[in-house]
Amino acid sequence: MPAFQPPSPLFPSKRTRLRLGEHLRAYFLAGVLVTGPVALTLYLAWLFVDFIDHIVSGLIPDRYNPLTYLPVHIPGLGLVVVVIGLTLIGALTAGYVGRRLLRVGDTILARMPLIRGLYGAMKQIFETVLSKKSNTFREVVMIEWPRRDLWTIGFITGTSDGEIREVAGDDAVNVYVPTTPNPTSGYLVHLPRRDVVLLSMTVEEGIKFVISGGIVAPPTRKLPIATSTIETAQ
């Protein structure tokens, strides 16, 4: 019976080739896991910056546009112009003259058909979301929706008022239920505060959880409580 011969380094055995293939596949997946989020984040950031640059460059006259005199295109220049412009507008409206001009502009827009409704709604949304005292989209909750014993993630956007409050109850709250994986679309539901379970996760963690379809789950910090800061703020 012939003696056992070890595999030659020039002709590795089948088991060695399989093990090498498994290592290479693991390395490839590790490379995708490391570079994938970074590449996608940079790509989305590049699309946003390029979109802003394209719009701003078309609004600036060629005489004042730095891109006209520079030999190369500088990405992000339009974004810098937008940030500086918004800062100057905010500084202007902070003074007496700026407030007067803003009040005149609001009066003119309030008298224009169709425009006044859209402008009023947009202004109210921005003031509510950007207000430091606002609880809008600062609380992540769970509700039994669209039926009992079927739980879903939602975000409290405020308390129900007007006719909705008369129908849903005095303690009703507005809850925005996002869809997966696009949280910008969803449903607005009104339900009693006692049916809302407040979670300890942040809004950013809640949005990540929705976008990932439940794959990126936030860590457990404490047991959910059935109260809301909106209730204590009233």
The predicted pLDDT at position 134 comes to 59
71 shares a domain with 15:
yes
Q: What is the pLDDT of residues 5-33, one digit of tens each?
A: 555 555 556 666 667 778 888 888 888 88
The answer to the question of residue 33 being in a domain is: yes
Q: What are phi and psi of 134, to 5 degrees?
A: -85, 140
**pLDDT by residue for the chain (234 residues), tens digit each?**
555 555 555 555 666 666 777 888 888 888 888 898 888 888 988 898 888 888 888 888 878 777 777 777 778 888 888 888 889 888 888 888 888 888 888 888 888 888 888 888 888 777 766 765 556 677 899 999 888 889 999 999 888 888 888 888 888 999 999 998 888 889 999 999 999 999 999 888 999 999 888 888 888 776 544 444 444 444
The answer to the question of residue 105 being in a domain is: no
Report which secondary-structure segment, H or E, holds 28.
helix 14-59
Q: Torsion over CA of 38, 44, 48 and 54, rounded to 10 degrees?
A: 110
Q: What are phi and psi of 160, to 5 degrees?
A: -75, 135
155 shares a domain with 90:
no
The answer to the question of residue 119 being in a domain is: no
Number of domains in the chain: 2
144 shares a domain with 77:
no
85 shares a domain with 3:
yes
Q: Is 173 helix (H, G, I), strand (E, B) or coil?
A: strand
87 shares a domain with 5:
yes
Q: Which domain holds residue 53?
A: 1-94
Q: Which of 94, 129, 153 is the last residue of a domain?
A: 94
153 shares a domain with 71:
no
The CA radius of gyration of the chain, in Å to the nearest whole number, is 28
The answer to the question of residue 123 being in a domain is: no
Q: Which of 62, 94, 126 is the last residue of a domain?
A: 94
The predicted pLDDT at position 29 comes to 86
Whether the bond into 146 is cis, omega within 30 of 0: yes
Q: Is 219 helix (H, G, I), strand (E, B) or coil?
A: coil
User: With a threshold of 0.75, does the pTM exceed it?
Assistant: no
The answer to the question of residue 135 being in a domain is: no
The answer to the question of residue 107 being in a domain is: no
The answer to the question of residue 74 being in a domain is: yes
CB burial string 77-108: b at 16+ within 10 A, e below: bbbebeeeeeeeeeeeeeeeeeeeeeeeeeee
Q: Which of 214, 195, 209, 210 is nearest to 148 (CA)?
A: 195
Q: Residue holding tokens 């600036």? A: 60
The answer to the question of residue 36 being in a domain is: yes
144 shares a domain with 90:
no
157 shares a domain with 72:
no
151 shares a domain with 73:
no
